[in-house]
Amino acid sequence: MNHSTRPTLHRLRSSRTALLAALGLLTATGATATVLSTSAGAAAAGCRVDYQVTNQWDTGFGTNVAVTNTGDPLSSWTLEWTFAGNQQVTQGWNATITQSGAAVTARNVSYNGNLATGGSTYFGFNGSYGGANPVPTAFRLNGVLCNGSPTSPTPTGTPTGTPTGTPTGTPTTPAGSRVDNPYVGAKVYVNPEWSAHAAAEPGGAKVANQPTGVWLDRIAAIAGTNGRMGLRAHLDEALRQKGSGELVVQLVVYDLPGRDCAALSSNGELGPTEIDRYRTEFIDPIAAVLADPKYAGLRIVTTVELDSLPNLVTNTTPRATATAACDVMKANGNYIKGIGYALKKLGAVPNVYNYADAGHHGWLGWDDNLGPSAELFKQAATSEGSTLANVHGFIVNTANYSALKESNFTIDDSVNGTSVRQSKWVDWNRYVDELSYAQALRTKLVSLGFDSKLGMLIDTSRNGWGGAARPAGPGPRTSVDAYVDGGRYDRRLNTGNWCNQAGAGLGERPQAAPTPGIDAYVWMKPPGESDGASKPLPNNDGKGVDGMCDPAYTGNPRNNNHMSGALPDAPLSGDWFSAQFQELLKNAHPAL
């Protein structure tokens, strides 16, 4: 599959931490508790707690907890339970979790303390254990007991097969209706083809049960080709994994005419003028499959046409980074038309959630890129009869390497009176990492008329930058460049480098609602699949060689003429690249 999506970059001077996420894996066990109680002299209280172990390995586990208030409204909440074994909470998100012996207390954080009657909130944690890992049987919300009993016994070992379902009483979404955040309260589809590749690698079993995107990157991929699963095969397998609970399937829709106009390794099969084929042979068949009532109970996330719109902003005339191919696509309007058509057709399916691509901070973060990009996103979302309502959110950093959060410096820092923005690395960008960029872009998009509940996805599949070279603190304050370069996690030679980067590592494991405005951290790019070949290789898919995939390449204006930083001996884009996968395992952060 063709997964290279970083062919273009920035302008020229004018481009919950979780050791294992508690979502989207192949097994689940849980407990559900419901009670209505009234304390004398106090407001009526009641609660339901859905406790779901979503992943478990030899010495650890991940858990999602949903808290529903069935009593009077609350302005703050505290949930308490006691472990029956020797479990220890090691890390949590969306709640402040403390433990004393076997007793655990989870308190709301600043943004999720208010719980209306019937309202729910969610938090998660990772834990360690030895021996058994029994599910807690009793929970108290603000001192009120929520009684219930656990469901099936917790599984042991690395999950490899059919899901066990969801806890009794877990709310499910009626078929054909959308929720605010499709990832909350849901497992996420594990692609068995990618999982098998990962599991066959030394150490790969540690991540082989993580959910990744399914790439529909050519017409033949819809039916399946060369022995690979087609769209229906994936959706049928998703139904098997779903059981009785909720499950998200992540699809990448990626076959625009004249695709990736500033790259060679990820060129598509359709010529610049073949918009009618795109509509009738690619989008229409996908929409028809997704609309099959058989799949109405799945939550289907589509990430729509990577890189195309950012290319029109940064790589067309009069920019110095312009290419003739991008000028053609801007002139004929087929990127705009194709995306509008895709959003309209896919958005008409009630259980589909469209997330449009929005590049990454090292491409669109500059002042003169972010605003025009947001305007162009709106133009595309309202073309071909589509409306803004067809966009559930946006995705950033897909198949890229930009660090999620740079903790050792901020954009507001200065060294000896020189702003961090003036460093060679930041280069006057407004944003230094993906989280700040995603949140700022979301604010801009909402100001242009997109839904106030717009959600963002961040691809964290390859942006961990861990390992021995990860800085432990800020760089020296001898100069602004030394300060930034000594402290930055992202160790690329330039934010414009996008192909098979040496030193990269797996990032945050997929998780739902990790921070306000972010619907999920996802692994949309399957780790271990090449961005592009480092030298010419024969193929029938029209995949060329991009210099950015050659370790000896000395760069171009789009990466300020830096070396490419690519790994050697890479296969064609989308093919399995064992050396890259091993690099990602070794440099994972959080570490495996």
The 3-state secondary structure of 459-509 reads ECCCCCCCCCCCCCCCCCCCCHHHHHHHHCCCCCCCCCCCCCECCCCCCCC
Question: Could you tell me how many residues make up the chain?
Answer: 592
Among residues 217, 260, 357, 531, the one annotated as catalytic is: 531
Residue entry with tokens 């890189």: 307
Q: Does the annotation mark 357 as catalytic?
A: no
Of 467, 489, 491, 468, which Cα lies nearest the Cα of 404?
A: 489
CB distance 120 to 68 below 8 Å: yes
Q: What residue type is 112 in one-letter code?
A: N
The pairing of beta strand 518-522 with beta strand 511-515: antiparallel
Q: Does the annotation mark 307 as catalytic?
A: yes
Rounded Cα distance between 18 and 63, Å, is: 11
DSSP string, 59-78: SEEEEEEEEEE-SS-BSS-E
Q: How far is CA 110 from CA 76, 94, 279, 553, in A?
A: 9, 9, 46, 48
Q: What residue type is 460 in one-letter code?
A: T
DSSP string, 252-304: EE---TT-STT-STT--SS-TT-HHHIIIIIIHHHHHHHT-GGGTTSEEEEEE
Rounded Cα distance between 164 and 26, Å, is: 8
Task: Please list, in sequence order, all residues whose beta carbon lies within 8 angstroms of the beta carbon of residue 576, skipping any fewer than 6 positions away.
Answer: 197, 528, 529, 530
φ and ψ of 239, to 5 deg: -60, -35
Rounded Cα distance between 549 and 541, Å, is: 18
User: Any idea what DSSP says for residue 421?
Assistant: G
In the beta sheet, which residues pair with residue 250? 301
Tokens of 552: 């000896």
φ and ψ of 355, to 5 deg: -120, 115
**Torsion over CA: 419, 425, 428, 434 (sign):** negative
Task: Please list, in sequence order, all residues whose beta carbon lies within 8 angstroms of the beta carbon of residue 383, skipping any fewer than 6 positions away.
Answer: 336, 337, 339, 340, 341
Among residues 50, 260, 307, 459, the one annotated as catalytic is: 307
Rounded Cα distance between 203 and 592, Å, is: 9
In our burial notation (b when 16+ CB lie closer than 10 A, e otherwise), range 182-221 reads: bbbbbbbbbbbbbbebbbebeebebbbbbbbbbbbbbbeb
CB-side exposure of 110: number of CA atoms within 13 Å? 2
Tokens of 115: 């719980």
Of 301, 293, 256, which Cα lies nearest the Cα of 275?
A: 256
Tokens of 179: 């929720």
Rounded Cα distance between 426 and 431, Å, is: 8
Phi-psi region of 400 (alpha: psi -120 to 50; beta: other; left: phi over 0): beta
Active-site residue list: 307, 531
